């Protein structure tokens, strides 16, 4: 099981710790199911960059980045070395702690 601490880049919400998340879910699914607003214009199908997030800690607990995801990240708003697409950031088998920042959603 995983614990994920979500925070908002522009303080839209107070940081929140979501506990007991099973492997196999994506960061986007966890955010949406936890009522944390995260754009997902393509329906979590890796066909856009709207679910762009920053994984500040715990990237080793996620499936690796694909060429397709990398191509969409190039189009994301303010990508950096911590950038991932929430829909493609799937938790591996195991357990751990992650810290995720949801970028400013107003610019999308």
82-101 pLDDT, tens digit each: 999 999 999 999 999 999 99
Task: Give the residue numbers spanning the domain of 44.
Answer: 2-102
Q: Please, what is the Cα angle at 30 between 23 and 37, to 5 degrees?
A: 165
Q: Confirm if 1 and 22 have CB atoms less than 8 A apart.
A: yes
Q: Decide if 84 is inside a domain.
A: yes
Residues 6+ apart with CB under 8 A from 73: 49, 52, 65, 79, 83, 84, 85
Number of compact structural domains in the chain: 1
Each residue's pLDDT tens digit, 34-82: 999 898 989 898 999 999 999 999 999 999 999 999 999 999 989 999 9
Looking at residue 108, its pLDDT comes to: 52
Q: Are strands 2-8 and 96-102 parallel, antiparallel or unpaired?
A: parallel
Answer positive or negative: Cα dihedral of 17, 12, 104, 69.
positive
Q: Decide if 108 is inside a domain.
A: no
Q: Please, what is the Cα angle at 67 between 77 and 73, to 5 degrees?
A: 5
Average pLDDT over residues 4-20: 95
Dihedral, CA atoms, 26, 27, 32, 38, nearest 10 degrees?
Answer: -130
Q: Decide if 107 is inside a domain.
A: no
CATH number of the domain that residue 31 is part of: 3.10.20.30
């Amino acid at each position: 099981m995983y614990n994920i601490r979500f925070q908002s880049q522009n303080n839209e919400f107070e940081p929140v710790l979501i506990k007991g998340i099973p492997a196999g879910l994506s960061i986007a699914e966890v955010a949406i199911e936890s009522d944390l607003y995260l754009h997902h214009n393509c329906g979590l199908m890796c066909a856009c960059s709207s679910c762009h997030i920053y994984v500040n800690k715990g990237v080793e607990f996620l499936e690796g980045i694909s060429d397709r995801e990398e191509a969409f990240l190039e189009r994301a708003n303010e990508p950096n070395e911590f950038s991932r697409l929430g829909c493609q950031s799937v938790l591996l088998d195991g357990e751990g702690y992650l810290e995720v920042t949801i970028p400013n959603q107003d610019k999308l």
